[in-house]
Chain A
Amino acid sequence: MNPIPTCTREVVVKLENGLHLGPGSQIVQLAQKFSSEILIRKGDKTVDGKSMLDLLTLAAEHGTVLELQARGDDAAAALEAIAALFDRNFASEQPTDKPA
Chain B
Amino acid sequence: MKLSDFVVREAILTDLKAATKEEAIRAMVESLSKTGHVKPADQEGIIAAILKREELGSTGIGKGVAVPHTKHPSVNRLVATIALSREGVEFASLDGERVHILFLLVSPPDRPGDHLRALENISRHLRNDNFCNFLRQAQSAEAVIELLEEADNNQLG
- A: which residues have CB within 8 A of B? 16-22, 25-26, 28-29, 51-62, 94-96, 99-100
Measured between beta carbons, the chain A residues less than 8 angstroms from B117 are: 59
| Chain A residue nearest to B56 in the complex (CB) | A96
Say whether B56 contacts A56, CB under 8 Å: no
Contact A18 B113 (CB under 8 A): yes
Interface string of B6-32 (1 = CB under 8 A from A): 000000000000000000000000000
The verdict on A61 contacting B62 (CB below 8 Å), with A54-B127, A99-B53, A99-B70 known, is no
A39 CA to B53 CA, complexed, in Å: 28
Nearest neighbor of B112 in chain A, beta-carbon distance: A17
**In the assembled complex, B98 has its CB within 8 A of some CB on chain A:** no
Interface residue ranges, B against A (CB under 8 Å): 49-50, 52-53, 56-57, 59, 61-63, 65, 67, 69-71, 94, 112-113, 115-117, 119-120, 122-124, 126-127
Residues in B with CB closer than 8 Å to A19 are 116
Contact A18–B63 (Cβ < 8 Å): no
B115 and A99: CB pair below 8 A? yes
Least CB distance from B54 to A in Å reads 9
